[in-house]
Amino acid sequence: MKSWAAWGRILFVLLAWAGVGWSQTAAKSAEAVALFSRHCAVCHGEAGQGESAVIRMAGPSLQAVHNPGLVMLAMETGPSHMPRFETILTVPQMRMIARFVTRRLAVIPLTGESLGRGGNLYRVNCASCHGAVTQGGTLGFAGLNAPALRRKPMALVAGAIRWGPGPMPRFSAAELPARDVASIAEYVRYLRRPSHPGGAALHWNGPVPEGAVAWAMALSLMVFAIWLEKGGRG
Amino acid sequence: MIEFLARWFDARLGAAKFTRKVMNHVFPDHWSFMLGEIALYSFVVLVMTGVFLAVFYQGSSVPVIYHGAYRPLRGVRMSAAYHSVLHLSFSIPAGLLFRQMHHWAADIFIAAIFAHLARIYFTAAYRKPRELNWLIGLTMLLLALANGFFGYSLCDDVLSGAGLRVGYAILLSVPVVGPWLAFLVFGGTSPNPATLPRMFVWHIFFIPAALAFLILAHLGIIWRQMHTNYPGAGGGEKLIVGSRFWPVYTMKSLALFFGVFAGIAALGGWVQIDPVWVYGPYNPIGIVPGAQPDWYLGWVEGAMRLFPGVNGHVGRWLIPELFFPGFLFPALVFAFLYCYPFLEQWLCFDFRGHNVLRRPWEMPWATALGCAGLAFVLVLEIAGGDDVIAVAMGSSVIVVRRVLRVLAIVAPLITGWIIHRWCEAMRRKHAHLREALAGADAGYSEAEIAPQPQPR
């Protein structure tokens, strides 16, 4: 009987602790949602999808941002068009938003899928604008160029697939499920440091630089012929 | 022993007399006479590397799954042709080196032919009695272009398939016979499993054999006829001044062969060309920016990009826009080149034979015309890569294309005008010199070492 009461008391304390903890977390979570929808959703969308009914130059998508440090950095420095939040929000608030973004909104995985599948998907869906090795390319209409992806953060690259900034089409989850996006991310990450057998890669720009190099060698051989005609002197 | 063998052959073939004659054949000394040799030796490298590649290549469109050494393509479905290219690149020792040497050699082969053609044109070496060799040379250029295109197509990567598709469209655009012509070459619509095997046969058998035969004819005619020589080199219409075939000329030519081989091998080993593994197996929607033909067809590509989108109509029939820049324009260029020696004979009423070359400024309109043509082709060549240029300059491809459209008309005119003026100035200068040296020999003694004259 006595031991039963003791166990009961311990259980009560534990339940109370869990309850308070849960309510605190819920409150924190609610605060994070409120903070996000007040400060961020105007541009990034309520679900972090990167679109907004309010501002035309919205974005980018946050659905592939898995690194809270990246969110903190963006809020502190304000890259590109984004305002700086270091005077508006406290550090714990920013930390709360960062945790909310990376734990709740980031639904697109970036790793753990097949490279071969990613390569296939990349070549079919992305390469026609961004080039075979993410070097970028011209779109051929409206005078627009598709950007190179090499220096863009992976989180932005993967997020852009759903978000579709500018003239880029949007790929819904029905067209490219999350694991396909992750495969593409895997291949794009591979292309940052690809194995390129066969020597210098001529910036991967196809037959145009190759033709220039071939002509340079042909002209060098002509110079060699001139040297030979001089009897190999001077 | 050697002496015994030599006597044995001499007694049966009369080899000594023949060898002596060959060894004493005199070639003039000038670097510009060696451009054709660069092409010849590139062809030798092409055959050597090509034989190696043909052992491992499979000209087949049967689908297979890749499980080879290149990680990012494992598990990918592709044609047996593309698979064999990957296999020979990654799993055969020195396979990639040979493949890259083969491709670089092709680019340099045609560059050398082009430079050789320009030299012949600007020094009027096509005049009687050398019209035949001019025709043979042009035919070899055409065959080389065709074989380059076929070789580019055989890898069956995205660029190959896109190139084939463009070639198919050009053939289709020919009025009246287009569909039959396209069917004849491709064996059906494109893409089509019949295309690769027949292109492979053309690429490794018919065209190289034709080229080899024409090279023999080309060299045989050069040997049979007297070689041309530059005015002022000590020779003349009936006299060649230069080096004997053995030993000086042979050594020079051999050195050039080693130079060409070394240059191509260095590129093959150190500079990547046509990395088929990044383009992936052919898929019609996989076309990428930076997809161009190799440089020797870039001018046709450029013409197609610059030509305005205007269809032609003859009665009820449509002549598609593509026909004009894609088929008619290159056909006219080659028709003009084929006719040029006869055209000039007829225009200048000059039916004599010429063994002494014409210096470029001596016929200003011909040189100006040639340079204007080169300027036009150069603008078209640049237009063939306008998307790459637009991205490299951070500019819009539409702006680049507009600028090039203007340049395609203005650049040849300005170039022709400048070159014509330069030729006239040179002509006046040399006329003054000739007057100053009146009575004396007007030639220029450029040869420092007393050469051996060879009367013929």
Please determine, for residue B449, whether its predicted confidence score (pLDDT) is greater than 70: no
User: Residue A1: how many CB atoms within 10 A of its CB?
Assistant: 5
Mean pLDDT computed over B406-414: 98
Nearest CA in chain A to B97: A198
Q: In angstroms, how far apart are the furthest CA atoms of chain A?
A: 115
Tens-digit pLDDT profile for residues A4-46: 888 888 888 888 888 887 877 777 788 888 999 888 888 888 8
Q: How far is B314 from chain A (nearest CA, A)?
A: 31
Q: How far is A207 from chain B (nearest CA, A)?
A: 5
Chain B contact set for A131 (CB, 8 A): 288-290
Would you say the C-alpha torsion B305, B309, B312, B313 has a positive or negative sign?
Answer: positive
Tens-digit pLDDT profile for residues B51-106: 999 999 999 999 999 999 999 999 999 999 999 999 999 999 999 999 999 999 99
Would you place residue A87 in the very low, low, confident or very high pLDDT band (cuts 50, 70, 90)?
confident
Q: CA-based angle B271:B274:B275, to the nearest 5?
A: 85
Best interface-test mutation with B: which of A217, A219, A223, A227 has the largest number of B CBs within 10 A? A217
A213–B271 CB contact, under 8 Å: yes
Residue B327 makes CB contacts below 8 A (sequence gap 6+) with B170, B171, B173, B174
Q: Domains for chain A: give ranges and CATH numbers.
A: 7-105 (1.10.760.10), 115-194 (1.10.760.10)
CATH of B21-286, one of 3.30.1380.10, 2.40.50.1070, 1.10.150.110, 1.20.810.10: 1.20.810.10
Tens-digit pLDDT profile for residues B433-448: 888 876 555 445 444 4
Domain boundaries, chain B: 21-286
Per DSSP, the three-state class of B16 is helix
Selecting from B29, B100, B397 the residue whose C-beta is nearest the C-beta of A198 gives B100
Please determine, for residue B355, whether its predicted confidence score (pLDDT) is greater than 70: yes
User: CB-side exposure of B399: number of CA atoms within 13 Å?
Assistant: 11
% of residues, chain B, pLDDT over 70: 96
Q: Is A210 on the interface with B (CB under 8 A)?
A: yes
B270–A197 CB contact, under 8 Å: no
Please determine, for residue B45, whether its predicted confidence score (pLDDT) is greater than 80: yes
Per DSSP, the three-state class of B363 is coil
**Partners of B79 in the β-ladder:** B63
Q: How far is B141 from chain A (nearest CA, A)?
A: 16
Q: How far is A196 from chain B (nearest CA, A)?
A: 8
